[in-house]
Amino acid sequence: MYNKFMLVAILLLIVMYLFKCKASGNYTGREYMPDMAHSRAYDVYVDGPGTRTKILRESGDQQLDYQLFADGKVARKPVAGTVPRGQKPYPFPNTEQGYEQAASYENPYWDADKKILEEGKQHYTVYCAVCHGEKGQGQGSISAAAGGPYGGIPNYFGDAYIQMPEGKMFHSMHYGKADMGSYASQLSKDERWKVVAYIKSLQADYAKSSKGLPSDEAALAYVRGKNLALSPTGEPIVSELESMKTTKLKVGDKFVLKNIFFDTGSAGLKTESYYELDLLQNILNNNADSKVEISGHTDSDGVPENNLTLSENRSQAAYQYLISKGVSEEQITFKGYGQDRPVAPNDTPENKQQNRRVEFEVIE
């Protein structure tokens, strides 16, 4: 009898202990994954056990539930329409009008180096190649062109896409377009632009060979839809005068016109020179009270008298073009200095090229 009583008492104590543990929240029972049922995640936007913090009274030992807001929450969702500090929201809506407006959105990686393009290629391979293919011809593994179930996947080198604005490409990746869903949750804004830059590099490689374009720069300008001025060798012209459109000239200012082109030994102005001379025309129009001298210079090769004549004729050619564009004869003059004013020793081809130049100088 005594043994039976003791056994019942022990069983009763075990049941009471287990009931106490379960009531206190420490009982896991026979749950296979208790953490899935009793989440330890800290959800700040709902009222629950995880949203309150235990704090001590100033007296020292008694803990109280502390809640930041009256409804038990310790944080609030951002106010509608606000954005985190330092972030700029995408400005165009998910509409056809927004898609057209996105054409003006500039890619920060338009001149991406190899490292950036390699990053773009990695993202492209993961997210885009399955449809568009590794080469961008719309022949990914799930495309109808490769025996897959999805048709209508564009070929990046078709007429409708080869010069597509990068902003439109980004817009399609941001919201999705036709059968393609949005990639905004898979790729950050920065990563999406890198993918666009990589696609443009694929298009440029194609355009260079198929269109017979003279350089990588010219091909990239073509696929970006930019009508950039090109030098006689096919390189895009980058002029220092581009940043001087609103500059106020002062006496003594002197600038080398680095993109004025002539045939060797000739004063015939090449048409590729017009871009920089047009920039100079705009600067002169904005500085109507200034007077400038257009000067020609040569290297030391040849007869000095012939060099003087050549430099005079070249400066005159630039002068006459500006006059034909409406610049006043009262504002500009020209003069040739031949080989008398070198800016470098005439001892290497590179230095001689520096000495063969046309300049303008503000004289009044």
Read off the pLDDT of each residue in 25-39 and give the average, rounded to a whole number: 55
Residue 55: enclosing H or E segment and its boundaries?
strand 53-56
Confidence class for position 74, pLDDT limits 50, 70, 90: low
Residue 298, amino acid = T
- Tell which CATH architecture fits domain 240-362: 2-Layer Sandwich (3.30)
Which residue shows structure tokens 């050549």?
Answer: 310
Contact 163, 222 (CB under 8 A): yes
- DSSP string for 264-333: TT--PBPGGGHHHHHHHHHHHHTTTT--EEEEEE--S-S-HHHHHHHHHHHHHHHHHHHHHTT--TTTEE
Residue 176, pLDDT score: 93
- 106-223 with 240-362: one CATH topology? no
Which of residues 218 and 150 earns the better pLDDT score?
150
Give the model's pLDDT for residue 309: 92
- What pLDDT is attached to residue 15? 63
What's the pLDDT band for 81 if we cut at 50, 70, 90?
confident
Q: In this structure, what token pair is assigned to residue 229?
A: 């001025």
Q: Could you read off the pLDDT of 159-212 as tens digits, one per residue?
A: 889 999 999 999 999 999 988 999 998 999 999 999 999 999 999 999 988 888
Name the token pair of 94: 């998910």
How many whole angstroms separate alpha carbon 89 and alpha carbon 280? Answer: 39
pLDDT of residue 56: 45
- Structural domain boundaries of the chain? 41-74, 106-223, 240-362
So what's the pLDDT on residue 92? Answer: 93
Taking residue 307's Cβ as centre, other Cβ atoms within 10 Å add up to 22
- Give pTM, 2 decimals: 0.54
Residue 287: pLDDT above 70?
yes
Report which of residues 20 and 355 the model is more confident about. 355
**Tens-digit pLDDT profile for residues 307-348:** 999 999 999 999 999 999 999 999 999 999 999 999 999 999
CB 326 within 8 A of CB 282: no
Residue-level pLDDT at 265: 84
Listed residue (348, 279, 354, 356) closest to 315, CA to CA: 356
* 123-141 per-position pLDDT tens digit: 999 999 999 999 999 999 9
* Contacts within 8 Å (CB) and 24+ apart, 298-306: 298/338, 298/339, 298/355, 298/356, 299/339, 299/342, 299/346, 299/352, 299/353, 299/355, 299/356, 300/339, 300/342, 300/346, 300/352, 300/355, 301/346, 301/352, 304/338, 304/339, 305/338
Please tell me what DSSP assigns to residue 105: P
CATH architecture classification, 106-223: Orthogonal Bundle (1.10)
Indicate if the pLDDT at residue 76 is higher than 90.
Answer: no
The CA-based diameter of the chain, rounded to the nearest angstrom, is 137
Residue 168 tokens, joined: 């439109």
Separation between Cα atoms, residue 171 and residue 176, nearest integer Å: 8
State residue 66's pLDDT score: 53
If you average pLDDT over residues 77-90, what whole number do you get?
Answer: 80
Q: Is the pLDDT of residue 226 over 70?
A: yes
Mean per-residue pLDDT for 67-78?
65
